[in-house]
Amino acid sequence: MTSSYSVKSSLLGAAARLNSEEAGYEAQLLLQAVLGVNRAWIISHANDALETLSNIAFEALINRRLNGEPVAYILGHREFYGLDLLVTPDTLIPRPDTETLVEAALAKIPVASAHNHLFDEISVLDLGTGTGAIALAIAKNRSEVLVTAVDFSLGALEVAKKNAQNLAILNVKFVLSHWFDGLVDESNACEKFDIIVSNPPYIEQTDIHLSQGDLRFEPIFALASGKDGLDDIRQIIDNCLIHLKPQGWLMLEHGYHQAESVADLMAESGLTFIATIKDLGGNDRVTIGKNPLIVSTHWD
């Protein structure tokens, strides 16, 4: 049985109800999920009548979105750096701004070549991995590098492991740990890494945005961090030198207004060559710093 609505009219009606900047895009994603089709099919079948059951299912998803539930949670997945990732309410939703952090890390890791024999020495740590987005993007693009991904949420870690399995990415190991706490080797010495990356919580705990939009549905422990939003960033910076190899890099995502504070904290800790990188929107997004200890090394 078909409804009185076409694909096009259903999308237009849903977009009008959603009434947001991305309403049309979100409506299309939800209808694609209901029909099990891609964007090209939606465009080429715009005038087709929508089956009644499909229309009912589509309306149910639109109502969930109208209640504020993020599209990524409704669909159960989100694209990040070319990877299709499972997403659940146990994890933060990966966002395009975080791809800036991936790019910063990849820029410090040489591309494999037949003449480069250093890759078995390069190790990357992703603190607070969530879906595994950052760790998996780095591991996928630098398959010779060993990435360690940690999270203190068992639910999040299970999602990250599943994403690694689905994407057949084998050069990542997962550790249940609160920041650096569980990172010791067999001799009980601190594990050390060439690059440490993190997208930690950095929103002020009283920020009104935490009670608005998609953020209402995301895990608060992955979003907020103290009065000024910097509690977790301080903890990471204060302990990073114990876990950074000589000439290793710490790379942190932060809020658009926090770059100066993060850079100051890095300088106070003893990191050098501190720099801030802007995201595609032109906002300060990632600040990096280098362990000044020098030994014979391949790092620039």
* Tens digit of pLDDT at every position of the chain (300 positions): 566 789 999 999 999 999 888 999 999 999 999 999 999 999 999 999 999 999 999 999 999 999 999 999 999 999 999 999 999 999 999 999 999 999 999 999 987 544 454 445 799 999 999 999 999 999 999 999 999 999 999 999 999 999 999 999 999 999 999 999 999 877 778 999 999 999 999 988 887 777 777 778 788 878 878 889 999 999 999 999 999 999 999 999 999 999 999 999 999 999 999 999 999 999 999 999 999 988 654 545
Say if residue 200 is in the same domain as residue 277: yes
Task: Give the position of tokens 């990415």.
Answer: 169
Say if residue 191 is in the same domain as residue 275: yes
Q: Where are the alpha helices (DSSP H) in the chain?
A: 7-18, 23-35, 39-44, 52-66, 71-75, 99-107, 133-141, 154-166, 231-243, 259-269
Q: What is the pLDDT of residue 3?
A: 62
Count how many domains the chain has: 2
Q: Give the CB-side neighbour count of residue 145, counting CA atoms within 13 A.
A: 27
Six token digits for residue 75: 């669909």
Six token digits for residue 225: 């961090």
pTM of the model: 0.89
**In terms of residue numbers, what domain contains 45?**
2-67
User: Looking at residue 85, what DSSP letter applies?
Assistant: E
Give the torsion sign (CA, 241, 242, 246, 248). Answer: negative
Q: What is the CATH number of the domain that holds 19?
A: 1.10.8
Which SS3 state, helix, strand or coil, does residue 274 take? Answer: strand
Say if residue 112 is in the same domain as residue 191: yes
Say if residue 96 is in the same domain as residue 63: no
- In the beta sheet, which residues pair with residue 251? 197, 288
Q: What is the pLDDT of residue 21?
A: 87
First to last CA, the chain: 66
Task: Give the position of tokens 């996928």.
Answer: 140
Say if residue 176 is in the same domain as residue 216: yes
Q: What is the CATH number of the domain that holds 182?
A: 3.40.50.150
